[in-house]
Amino acid sequence: MKIGVNIKLDVTKLNKERFFQGKKGKYVDLTAFIDTEQTGEYGDNGTVSQSTSKEERQNGTRLPICGNVKVFYKDEQESHTPPVSQPGPGPEDDDMDVPF
């Protein structure tokens, strides 16, 4: 299934110490949890926060929610082939520009 999402992010909640320099820009790792079957109080379908490492998760570290996700498109067509996993943006991508 394909879905399209809009992400609204409060950049003031981002911990800038977690930003890292890549070959073509400055980046931050984010994690989104999306539930296409449920809608929250404000019409959202999920949350966004900065990513934590495996060790941080094991120690119970939780970072604040810094945004939300709203599904605007769902392709409900059944496919008989498994989806192909595609990597998200990384340090080699140049289309992310954080203005701070």
Each residue of 45-81: pLDDT tens digit?
A: 999 999 999 999 999 999 999 999 999 999 877 655 5
pTM (predicted TM-score):
0.69
Q: Which long-range contacts (CB under 8 A, 24 or more apart) does 81-90 make?
A: 83/1, 89/27, 90/22, 90/27
CB-neighbour burial class of residue 49 (10 A; exposed 0-12, middle 13-18, buried 19+): middle
The yes-or-no verdict on residue 91 having pLDDT over 60 is: no
Closest CA to 32 of 5, 12, 11: 5
Query: How much is the pLDDT for 71?
Result: 95
The yes-or-no verdict on residue 24 having pLDDT over 80 is: yes
